[in-house]
Amino acid sequence: MGAPQGIDLAARSRARRRALQALYAWQMSGSHMNAVIEQFRHEQDMEVADLEYFQDLLRGVEKHVDALDAKLRPHLDREVAQVDPIERAALRLGAYELAYRPDVPYRVILNEAIEVTKRFGADHGHSYVNGVLDKLAAELRAPEKRG
């Protein structure tokens, strides 16, 4: 099963990596999301990332952050605010895609969340992110996960 027509998977992966960094910056600075998006749009590798997807991820997380945190909360072992900021950003991105991007297979979402957390997070952060998102996928994508 290949990529849906017209979707550059490598550009989407780069968009997710940049979105994770932008979400981290947004969480830490409290800046308005538009300012964060503008800051990241001017960085070099955004030219090769899927800019539309990058913006969708960030605006979607910003718009639905309370609902996303509520979906994540039952699967966490601590308050959302106490989760490492990189892991929190990865969880929010993954939760957004699971809840609002049914066009993206849940396995892709989990794999990408694990990869960005391995790259930017703490040593075992990817295991935590995987565990939480796997439980959330079972809840939000039950038919897909069973199939």
Question: Looking at the 3D structure of the chain, how many domains does it have?
Answer: 1
- Give me the mean pLDDT over the 87-106 stretch: 97
Contact by Cβ (8 Å): 147, 109: no
Whole-angstrom CA distances from 80 to 9, 51, 75 are 30, 28, 10
Q: Is the CB of residue 37 less than 8 Å from the CB of residue 22?
A: yes
Dump pLDDT digits (tens) for 56-77.
999 999 999 999 999 999 999 9
Residue 4 included in any domain: no
> What is the reported pLDDT for 55?
94
Tokens 């790259």 identify what position?
A: 119
- CA gap 27, 107 in Å, rounded: 26
Distances (CA, A) of 137 to 22, 73, 144: 24, 14, 9
In a domain, 1, yes or no: no
Query: Is the pLDDT assigned to residue 89 strictly greater than 50?
Result: yes
What is the distance between the alpha carbons of residues 105 and 124, in angstroms, rounded to a whole number? 24
Mean pLDDT, the chain, rounded, equals 92
pLDDT at residue number 140: 95
> Does a structural domain hold residue 82?
yes
Question: Greater confidence, 36 or 47?
Answer: 36
Both tokens of 47, joined, read: 């030219």
Q: Please give the pLDDT value at position 1.
A: 43
pLDDT tens-digit profile of 103-114? 999 999 999 999
pTM of the entire predicted model: 0.92
Q: Which domain holds residue 63?
A: 9-146
Q: What's the CATH number where 56 sits?
A: 1.10.940.10
